[in-house]
Amino acid sequence: MQKMKLNVQKIGLREACAQIIYEDFEDRRRNEPLIKELIEYLPTVSDITEEEKAELHEWVVSGFSVYDNPYMLSNDSGRTMDFIRGCRIGIDLRDNPSDYLGVDLDTENEGRNDELPF
Question: pLDDT tens across 78-97, in order?
Answer: 999 999 999 999 899 888 88
The pLDDT confidence band at residue 14, using thresholds 50, 70 and 90, is low
How many domains, the chain? 1
Residue 16 within any structural domain of the chain:
yes
Asked if 37 and 65 count as a contact pair (C-beta separation under 8 A), the reply is yes
Q: For residues 72 and 10, which has the higher predicted lDDT (pLDDT)?
A: 72
What does the mean pLDDT of the chain come to?
76
Residue 40 within any structural domain of the chain:
yes
Q: Is the dihedral of CA 90, 96, 97, 99 positive or negative?
A: negative
In this predicted structure, the answer to whether residue 27 has a pLDDT above a threshold of 70 is no
Residue 39 within any structural domain of the chain:
yes
pLDDT of residue 17: 57
pLDDT of residue 1: 43
Asked if 70 and 58 count as a contact pair (C-beta separation under 8 A), the reply is no
The pLDDT confidence band at residue 52, using thresholds 50, 70 and 90, is very high
Residue 113 within any structural domain of the chain:
no
pTM for the predicted model, two decimal places: 0.60
Domain of residue 74 covers: 8-108
Residue 2 within any structural domain of the chain:
no
Across residues 35-64, what is the average pLDDT?
91
